[in-house]
Amino acid sequence: MENLEIERKFLVNKELWEALEKPAGTEYLQGYLCIDDDKAIRARVAGDKGFLTIKGTSETFSHPEFEYNIPVEEAVRLINLFSKSHVKKIRRKIPLGGHIWEVDEFCGENEGLLLAEIELNHPDQDFEKPAWLGAEVTGDKRYYNASLSVNSWKLR
């Protein structure tokens, strides 16, 4: 199936993560225009780039995803005009074993939460796990960004 994202998500060990030398991160603002059981529609500002993304229901490791580049000014307007909730974070990309780990350091209501994601070609694909990786939370809806936008991690 085209437009299928296969990813695994993990908590990050804060102590080990903070001890690492890391690349510079990119600030993200994600505004959710629609969140329901079947989909999440968001506008995203990632540094100086804008995106519109539609994600379908997750089947643990995979879900349909359609993402479109849009002018950053339009992404900001969509967030300001139509966003019901949002998430702010700093994303750092860490290459390891032929893959790129995306590590999100959340800000605002979710400050202190560290999540790492890896995109795969198929659900059973092997990958190297870095020492700073914590428990796997793939499929745990509490850690979906859409959920974090309305239910602060700190309140759990």
Dump pLDDT digits (tens) for 106-122: 999 999 999 999 999 88
pLDDT reading at 138 higher than 60: yes
Q: How confident is the model at residue 3 (pLDDT cuts 50, 70, 90)?
A: confident
Tokens representing residue 103 in the block:
């590590």
Kindly report the pTM of this predicted structure: 0.92
Q: What is the model's pLDDT at position 156?
A: 57
Query: Which residues are known catalytic residues?
Result: 32
- Output the pLDDT for position 1: 47
CA separation for the pair 75, 29 (Å, rounded): 10
Q: pLDDT tens digits for 20-43?
A: 999 999 999 999 999 998 899 999
Q: For the chain, how far is it from start to end, CA to CA, in angstroms?
A: 35
In the prediction, which pLDDT does 122 show? Answer: 86
Give yes or no for residue 58 having a pLDDT over 80. Answer: no
Q: Which domains does the chain have, with CATH numbers?
A: 4-155 (2.40.320.10)
3-state class (DSSP) for residue 62: strand
Burial of residue 156, with CB atoms counted within 10 A of its CB: 0-12 exposed, 13-18 middle, 19 or more buried: exposed
Q: What is the pLDDT of residue 41?
A: 96
Q: Is the predicted pLDDT of residue 96 greater than 80, yes or no? A: yes
What is the mean predicted confidence (pLDDT) over 71-75?
A: 98
E strands, the chain, where? 4-12, 26-35, 39-46, 49-56, 62-70, 85-96, 99-106, 114-119, 133-136
